[in-house]
Amino acid sequence: MARATANENAAGRVRVELPRGSRQDAFVAVNGVSYIIPSRGAHSVPPEIAEEFFRAQRAEDARENNSAAMRAAANQARQV
C-alpha cells in the first residue's frame, strides 16, 4: 500500500496527504463517522480518523509481507 504523510495543525486536526501515485480515495470509518480522504491534495481530519487510516496501512503492509513470505515458502516446498 502507498505511504501517506501526516502532520498535526493548531485546530487539533491531522493533515493527511496520500502520495501522488494513489489512484483511489481512502475510506475510513470510526464509531459510525465516515470520511473519504481524496487521493489528491492534503486534507485535515480528526486525529482518530488519521490514527485508523495509518493503522489500516500498517495492517495492509503486514498482510503483503505475510503473503510474500507464504508464496516464497510454497515455491521452496515445490522445489524440494
| pLDDT band for position 28 (cuts 50, 70, 90) | very high
Three-state DSSP at 42 gives strand
Distances (CA, A) of 74 to 35, 38, 61, 62, 66: 39, 38, 20, 18, 12
pLDDT tens sequence across 50-62: 999 889 888 988 9
Owner of C-alpha cell 509481507:
65
Q: Dihedral sign, CA of 55, 33, 14, 41?
A: positive
Rounded to the nearest integer, the mean pLDDT of the chain is 84
Q: DSSP class of residue 25?
A: P
